[in-house]
Amino acid sequence: MATAFPTERTVILTGAASPRGIGRATAFYLAERGWNVGIIDVDGDAAARTAAEVAEAHGVRAAGVGANVADREQAVAAVDALEAELPQTVALVNFAGVSSPIPYLEVTPEEWHRVQSINLEGVHWVTQRVARTLAENGVGRLVGISSVSAQRGGGTFSKTPYSASKAGVIGLMRSIARELGPLGVTANVISPGPIDTDIMGGTLTDERKAAMAADGVLPRIGTPTDIAAAVAYLISEDAGFVTGQTLNVDGGLYMH
């Protein structure tokens, strides 16, 4: 028998303080639906400001802290701080990530490590810490954010180090799903296609949007709300029988 969600529940979002980012849009989307929100971002001031705006807009409890998620001690301390301020943690969504447009033959050790440390190791450290809480309570939802780039072998703004790190997120979450399923915890991945944010080299022009949309089967690229809605489903109480899955939100760019 699945453990029911507590009346007051918190979702922790990493990388959710960028002004035009998916994470920030998701924070507001989930708060509107009754989730209390904890934000971890490399910019602690921005995390605190975003949390205050979320709380004011939707009347939920919210808190924001700064951390470089690639640093295990910072990642753990950030979750500790949020859990001390907010109701029971029920869900985690890992938005924190960096892009990498460097051609493969020019990838340096520094660039490789930079991307893997944030996009994969950072996801692991935060997820492991939150998973301890979820397992202890017997209920929870973990979500990793991959990319169509991982599934199609690039073909987007970012190249090899990014694709490898985002493929790693899929393997990580599937393995977590298998290990923690018996403890009442689900683990899934959302794999976005091109989304209208600044991570792909700045604000997109209409021409770039049209070119990106041409690869898919829908006549537009994605919006942060498209991803937020997918997150809302995967962390919902009703999604308790969905685990180890990769939900592509990409306008049909990659079908499998």
Enumerate the active-site residues.
162
Q: Is 10 helix (H, G, I), strand (E, B) or coil?
A: strand
Residue length, the chain?
A: 256
Q: Where are the alpha helices (DSSP H) in 35-192?
A: 44-58, 72-85, 109-116, 122-137, 148-152, 160-180
**Could you tell me which of 224, 225, 190 has the C-alpha nearest to residue 204?**
224
β-bridge mates for residue 249, sequence order:
192
Spatial CB neighbours of 171, under 8 Å, sequence gap ≥ 6: none
- The DSSP 8-state label assigned to residue 6 in this structure reads P
